[in-house]
């Protein structure tokens, strides 16, 4: 249908928006060039997961059509490959332009040909002494087996002259503990990449053979693995699958410049990969080294303004977090507020509190040196009943989570893995604390993002802390169901997929449709990472046709096209891609003052979230917090620096500020707000202290200037990586 977009093509449009940040003039130069690396990292994962999945589908059921575009898996693959090729000139032009501009600051990526004679002599010696002894050249022909090429690793390939058939030489570039950037001058700012040196001298690895052509290649392999949670050996099987994934079929080959057609066809044949999956690049095949450039020059004009997460103005330092939540609901906003000074503090206080009897939590992605894990282990060692639902199938975090599960079990934590066939993606915590006698108090936390100290500093997320007993009862039911490998069927206040989230969302949309059909002003708002759920899309179209005003903020995939007459003319879609990764999920039903309902949670409007995962969303009931979220939503809708809007043809364009209109970068606005809130809180406390001292007749000592301490590292980049 004309108002529907294919999921894969919509995602590629998102990644194009990421790439556009690499040339955005308002971004500092070293930050701009990092977006090129983020674009490539995103694309790698897209090929490993989505293209890998489509490839499997094409082999098993190529007649099955996408419900939105009507394309078969093979047709979708062709469309994806075409779209990726069309983007490549933009990728290369952006890279070259940024590298050229960096020359003003002493940066220069040289090739062997542009190196000075002295540098060339140095590089030849460097290759012979520092590289050649640690790598091996392998000759391949029909009489010899083809070597296994690792996922995303770089290889130099050469076409060897042979009297019989085609012969190819393969040289692995990557070495343990090696630095790809070989410094030549200016403290490493003038450099050459190691793979370029290996390619230049690859012929020395095949003495006695004449090299007629050479190139660099990089293979991307299928990573789409899934295993059902069945039986006690689930963790063991997951460990086996993680190892197996590294050896799955190749789905893409990238190659530098042009290469001998005979040799290329031979390599494709050995890899069992079609030529349509070969992508040429005239810039480095692996752009991850661009992040390193940030470390080589600290000039302020080359970097974003340093920001550090603030302590939440909603939390006092002299009372426990649990006690404060018992008094009122608290909303935390990341990365603008510190996870360490709020959520981690709550966990640490609970682990040490003798009255806390149990802690239950769901874990999906964690930091490398996770304070969450260490605190949960401490709680268990202190005699608390600690239950952790850890998702071992969190893609690309499987190995980490397997190791964390072992550490937790060793500390005495009860570890579960959730229901079979369904990932548990919820961000849910329940703390139980003895009050008086046989009575207990509860604090429940529901979030939009992971319990990960690292990503909390670069992802925008929300976290609700509440002592509401109905919500606690629902949370208890969720953990009980997870323990038994089943699902919550009914709830009091929480929305819980797969059975008790989408029906409620559709029902609340129906309420707005009824309001509009009776002459009122219906309203639906949502901020999500992705939107492709067919039932929700159908309901949004119905709401639009009924006259409901619908405002969607969708960072990534959006399969509904707004502004199509007769279908979606009352829908607007905008996407914000900036310094931080937009990750929070907000659902709004109804206008302010008209029994408005607001939820935050872990679910996107995707079928994988609404009907194939365990997700949790919570109502925001406190009027103060509802007002705060409404204000956030208004700011996001006012962003005219990092926002793009989708047009009725499915394309995205930057929001253009009007003449004299104030420029609003929503992410910077929220950071300034967090700074201001804390300063205002400090000023209030100072005034109250002054009043108390006046009443007591004490003289005040001169105030000492102090800077807020935070153990969060300064945030220097982030912004666009896929979740």
- pLDDT at residue 707, rounded to an integer: 41
Q: Among 610, 638, 636, 649, which residue's Cα sits nearest to residue 554? A: 636
Q: Which two tokens stand for residue 33?
A: 């060039």
How far are the Cα atoms of 385, 431, 435, 448 from residue 359, in angstroms, in the given order? 6, 5, 15, 19
- pLDDT at residue 164, rounded to an integer: 79
Largest interatomic CA distance in the chain: 102
- pLDDT at residue 720, rounded to an integer: 59
Burial of 670 (0-12, 13-18, 19+ CB in 10 A): buried
Say what angle helices 73-102 and 29-46 make with each other, to 10 degrees. Answer: 160
Contact 449, 583 (CB under 8 A): yes
- pLDDT at residue 379, rounded to an integer: 98
| Total count of residues recorded for the chain | 723
pLDDT over 80 at 313, yes or no: yes
User: What are the extents of the domains in the chain?
Assistant: 1-105, 321-493, 502-667
Contact 161, 213 (CB under 8 A): no
Contact 567, 545 (CB under 8 A): yes
DSSP of 151-167: TT-EEEEEEEP-SSS-E
- pLDDT at residue 706, rounded to an integer: 42
Confidence of residue 702 (pLDDT cuts 50, 70, 90): low
- pLDDT at residue 691, rounded to an integer: 85
What is the spatial distance between Cα 613 and Cα 577, in angstroms, rounded to a whole number?
26
Contact 440, 578 (CB under 8 A): no
- pLDDT at residue 716, rounded to an integer: 44
Q: Minimum mean pLDDT among 67-71, 90-94, 504-508: which range?
A: 67-71
pLDDT over 60 at 723, yes or no: no
Kind and range of the H or E run holding 540: helix 534-546
CATH no. for 502-667: 3.30.870.10
Contact 195, 215 (CB under 8 A): no
Range 666-673 contact pairs with CB under 8 angstroms and sequence separation of 24 or more? 666/576, 666/578, 666/635, 666/636, 666/638, 666/639, 666/641, 666/642, 667/460, 667/576, 667/578, 667/579, 667/580, 667/642, 668/579, 669/635, 670/333, 670/336, 670/460, 670/632, 670/635, 671/307, 671/336, 673/336
What's the mean pLDDT when you consider all of the chain? 93
How far are the Cα atoms of 113, 292, 468, 624 from residue 328, in angstroms, in the given order? 67, 45, 9, 10
pLDDT over 50 at 718, yes or no: no
- pLDDT at residue 669, rounded to an integer: 97
- pLDDT at residue 715, rounded to an integer: 42
pTM over 0.85: yes
CATH no. for 1-105: 1.20.58.310
- pLDDT at residue 689, rounded to an integer: 83
Exactly one of 282, 425, 499, 654 is catalytic; which is it? 425
For 388, residues 6+ apart whose C-beta sits below 8 A from its C-beta are 360, 361, 362, 363, 376, 405, 408, 413, 414, 415, 416
Predicted confidence (pLDDT) per residue in 236-269, tens digit: 888 888 887 778 899 999 999 889 999 999 999 9
Q: Do 321-493 and 502-667 fold alike per CATH? A: yes
Q: Minimum mean pLDDT among 156-170, 189-203, 339-353, 597-611: which range?
A: 156-170
Predicted confidence (pLDDT) per residue in 481-497, tens digit: 999 999 999 999 999 99
Percentage of the residues of the chain whose pLDDT score is greater than 70 = 95
Q: Tell me, yes or no, if 282 is annotated catalytic.
A: no
Confidence of residue 191 (pLDDT cuts 50, 70, 90): very high
For the stretch 261-279, what's the b/e string if a residue is b when 16 or more beta carbons lie within 10 angstroms of its beta carbon? eebbebbbebbebeeebbb
Fold of 321-493: Endonuclease; Chain A (3.30.870)
The radius of gyration of the chain from alpha carbons, rounded to an integer in Å, stands at 28
């Amino acid at each position: 249908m004309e108002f529907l977009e294919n999921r894969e093509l919509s995602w590629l449009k998102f990644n194009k928006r990421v790439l556009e940040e690499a040339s955005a003039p308002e971004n500092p130069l070293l930050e701009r060039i990092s977006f090129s690396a983020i674009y490539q990292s995103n694309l790698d994962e897209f090929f490993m997961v989505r293209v890998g999945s489509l490839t499997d589908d094409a082999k098993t059921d190529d007649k099955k059509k996408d419900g939105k575009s009507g394309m078969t898996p093979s047709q979708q693959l062709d469309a994806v490959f075409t779209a990726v090729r069309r983007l490549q000139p933009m990728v290369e032009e952006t890279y070259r332009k940024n590298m050229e501009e960096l020359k003003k600051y002493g940066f220069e990526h040289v090739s062997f040909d542009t190196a000075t004679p002295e540098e060339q002599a140095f590089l030849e010696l460097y290759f012979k002494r520092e590289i050649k002894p640690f790598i091996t050249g392998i000759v391949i022909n029909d009489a010899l087996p083809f070597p296994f090429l690792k996922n995303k690793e770089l290889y130099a390939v050469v076409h060897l002259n042979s009297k019989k058939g085609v012969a190819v030489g393969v040289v692995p570039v990557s070495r343990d503990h090696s630095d790809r950037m070989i410094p030549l001058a200016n403290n490493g700012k003038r450099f050459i990449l190691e793979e370029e040196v290996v390619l230049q001298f690859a012929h020395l690895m095949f003495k006695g053979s004449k090299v007629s052509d050479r190139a660099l290649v990089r293979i991307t392999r299928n990573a789409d693995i899934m295993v059902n949670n069945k039986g006690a050996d689930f963790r063991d099987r997951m460990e086996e699958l993680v190892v197996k994934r590294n050896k799955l079929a190749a789905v893409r080959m990238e190659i530098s410049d042009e290469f001998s057609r005979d040799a290329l066809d031979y390599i494709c044949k050995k890899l069992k990969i079609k030529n349509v999956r070969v992508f040429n690049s005239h810039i480095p095949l692996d752009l991850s080294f661009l992040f390193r450039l940030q470390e080589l020059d600290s000039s302020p004009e080359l970097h974003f303004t340093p920001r550090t997460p603030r302590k939440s103005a909603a939390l006092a330092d002299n009372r426990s977090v649990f006690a404060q939540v018992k008094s009122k609901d608290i909303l935390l906003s990341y990365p603008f507020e510190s996870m360490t000074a709020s959520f981690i503090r709550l966990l640490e206080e609970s682990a040490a509190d003798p009255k806390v009897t149990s802690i239950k939590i769901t874990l999906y992605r964690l930091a490398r040196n996770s304070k969450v894990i260490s605190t949960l282990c401490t709680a268990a060692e202190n005699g608390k009943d600690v239950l952790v639902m850890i998702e071992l199938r969190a893609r690309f975090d499987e190995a980490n989570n397997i190791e964390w599960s072992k550490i937790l079990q060793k500390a005495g934590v009860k570890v579960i893995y959730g229901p079979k066939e369904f990932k548990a993606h919820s961000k849910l915590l329940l703390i139980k604390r003895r009050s008086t006698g046989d009575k207990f108090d509860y604090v429940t936390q529901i979030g939009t993002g992971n319990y990960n100290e690292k990503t909390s500093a670069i992802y925008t997320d929300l976290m609700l802390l509440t002592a509401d007993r109905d919500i606690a009862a629902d949370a208890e039911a969720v953990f009980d169901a997870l323990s038994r490998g089943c699902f919550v069927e009914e709830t009091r206040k929480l929305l819980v997929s797969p059975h008790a989230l989408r029906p409620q969302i559709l029902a609340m949309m129906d309420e707005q449709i009824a309001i509009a059909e009776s002459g009122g002003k219906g309203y639906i708002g949502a901020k999500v990472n992705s939107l492709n759920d067919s039932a929700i899309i159908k309901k949004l179209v119905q709401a639009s046709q009924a006259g409901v005003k619908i405002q969607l903020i969708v960072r990534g995939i959006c399969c509904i096209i707004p502004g199509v007459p007769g279908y979606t003319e009352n829908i607007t879609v905008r996407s914000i891609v900036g310094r931080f990764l937009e990750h929070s999920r907000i659902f709004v039903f109804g206008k302010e003052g008209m029994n408005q309902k607001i939820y935050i949670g872990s679910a996107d409007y995707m079928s994988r979230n609404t009907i194939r995962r365990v997700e949790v969303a919570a109502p925001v009931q406190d009027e103060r917090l509802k007002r705060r979220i409404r204000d956030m939503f208004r700011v996001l809708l006012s962003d005219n620096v990092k926002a793009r809007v989708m047009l009725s043809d499915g394309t995205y364009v930057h929001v253009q500020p009007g003449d004299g209109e104030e420029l609003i970068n929503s992410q910077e606005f929220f950071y300034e707000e967090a700074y201001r809130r804390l300063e205002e809180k400090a000023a209030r406390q100072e005034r109250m202290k002054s009043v108390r001292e006046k009443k007591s007749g004490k003289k005040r000592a001169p105030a000492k200037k102090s800077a807020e301490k935070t153990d969060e590292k300064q945030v220097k980049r982030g912004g666009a990586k896929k979740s």
